[in-house]
Amino acid sequence: MKKLFKIYFALVFLSFLSVSISPASDNDSLKNMIRTVIEDGATYASTVILDEKGMARGDYNIIDGKWSPYEPAWHTGQIIYGLVEAYKITGNKKYLDNAVRAGNWWISLEIKDHPKLKGMMKTIHGAGIEKICFTTLCDGANGIFELWKITKNEKYASVATTAGEWALQHMYLPNEGMFYDFVDPVTGDVQKTWSDFWPEKNEQVLTDVARPNNEGYLYYDMYEYTKNEKYKKVFINLCNSLVEKQGPEGLWMDYTPNNKERNSFHPRFNIWYAESLIKGYEMTGDKKYLDAAKKTMKFYTKYQKKDGTIYYENLIDGTSIENSPSGSTSSFAGIVWIKLLKLGVGDEFKENIEKSFRWVVNNRYAKDHPDPNLAGGFYNLRMNIKSGKHRILQRDVGTAFGLRFLAEYYHYKFDH
């Protein structure tokens, strides 16, 4: 059965990808090639991924040809980030215009009329969990702050900061350096003893309902926007919490979506934390944050295959379940490897960066693909079985992180 799956996915892979491109040695040729790939991805993000409201459409089921939203606030925020980066590289204003369109949808989630939730955002997790999720907020917020920086329109940063302040007042555990995960959108109550992430657990403890959640470095951006020292203190507290709670392998196995019982870890979750720790180092100069981030990213090198692939589900024994190539992870890891290299501690990651580059460039859907929902997108597969049905999903985050990575790679190669 396993062999049949591998043959099947090889056929799917070959049928959906565009023509392979190898990096040219000539700088001008390489620049032009990267810009072209960015333009293809940004056009796809603008015209296919974003719906008429400006919301990211989420997961595309290749079998039934239908889209389904998944944590739209954070997926949209990352599409915004990717489009802003594409605009910076290409100067094509239509990418910024679409980022603004998506940003206007994002801030429309602000809650204005609920007695308890006023100021928070309706960042619903979705996929069966109809609760406001803190991670769904912070994973999308860094794209919103990037939009503020490029447009100078404070409404984007202001809405995100107000929501972050609400979370700080109601969801923060300062002594533990954590935030609760969920808020009931009807009652406005924070879920302090029960998390929808663990429905099978009759009894839940603090690590089930709260996390040292520094994803998207929300309070770093809030500090940069307001210069309020309170937010800087919160951000550093979260960085310290991550250093304290990091496992010997460089991960945070006590917290979902890692699964300690199965010894499996989520592909992007730990990279989010590493990225925030780099911000902690940049803010303070404290090398412990940089060392912790490097520890995470060194561990990830074990899971990148020779062709640059990183799979969705991996086990801490060094093995992977090879059915879902996660393009967003290859890209996100590449982003953080480059950031470490630029800070002088990532020489050993140079080949990993090149593997990610080759993977992202070579693994895209052709612009003339017969399915317009895929044509021009960056490959990011997720296979699973739900209600007895196999699902093969193309995920929009592959394009979002692909754009971010290619922009980062462009600067890495040519900004000297």
**Model confidence, pTM:** 0.94
Our CA dihedral for 195, 197, 200, 205, rounded to 10 degrees, sits at -40
Say how many CA atoms lie within 13 Å of 55 toward its Cβ. 16
Give pLDDT, residue 386: 81
Pairing of strands 129-133, 124-126: antiparallel
Check residue 26 and give its pLDDT. Answer: 76
Angle between helices 72-90 and 134-151 (to 10 degrees): 30
Q: Which amino acid is it at 179?
A: F
Rg of the chain over Cα atoms, rounded to whole angstroms, equals 20
DSSP state of 142: H
pLDDT at residue number 11: 40
36 phi/psi in degrees, rounded to 5: -65, -45
Under 8 Å CB-to-CB from 399, ≥6 apart: which residues?
41, 44, 45, 49, 79, 82, 377, 378, 380
Question: What percentage of the chain carries pLDDT values higher than 90?
Answer: 91
Query: In angstroms, rounded to a whole number, what is the distance separating the alpha carbons of residues 27 and 200?
Result: 55
pLDDT tens for the chain, 416 residues: list them. 444 444 444 444 444 444 444 544 578 999 999 999 999 999 999 999 999 999 999 999 999 999 999 999 999 999 999 999 999 999 999 999 999 999 999 999 999 999 999 999 999 999 899 999 999 999 999 999 999 999 999 999 999 999 999 999 999 999 999 999 999 999 999 999 999 999 999 899 999 999 999 999 999 999 999 999 999 999 999 999 999 999 999 999 999 999 999 999 999 999 999 999 999 999 999 999 999 999 999 999 999 999 999 999 999 999 999 999 999 999 999 999 999 999 999 999 999 999 999 999 999 999 999 999 999 999 999 998 888 889 999 999 999 999 999 999 999 999 97
Per this entry, what is the length of the chain?
416
Crossing angle of the two packed helices 287-300 and 269-284, in degrees rounded to 10? 150
DSSP assignment of 321-367 equals EEEEE-HHHHHHHHHHHHHHHHTT--GGGHHHHHHHHHHHHHSBB-T
pLDDT value at residue 9: 46
User: What residues form DSSP beta bridges with 133?
Assistant: 182
C-beta separation of 349 from 339 below 8 A: no
pLDDT digits 0-9 by tens, 52-80? 999 999 999 999 999 999 999 999 999 99
**CA 232 → CA 158, 168, 271, distances in Å?**
17, 12, 21
Question: Which residue do the tokens 């239908």 mark?
Answer: 66
Q: Which of 225, 241, 74 is nearest to 154 (CA)?
A: 225
pLDDT value at position 1? Answer: 45
Report the alpha-carbon distance of residue 322 to residue 332 in Å, rounded.
Answer: 19
Instruction: Describe the crossing of helices 287-300 and 229-245 by its angle, rounded to 10 degrees.
Output: 50
> Measured between alpha carbons, how far is 44 from 50 in angstroms, rounded to an integer?
9
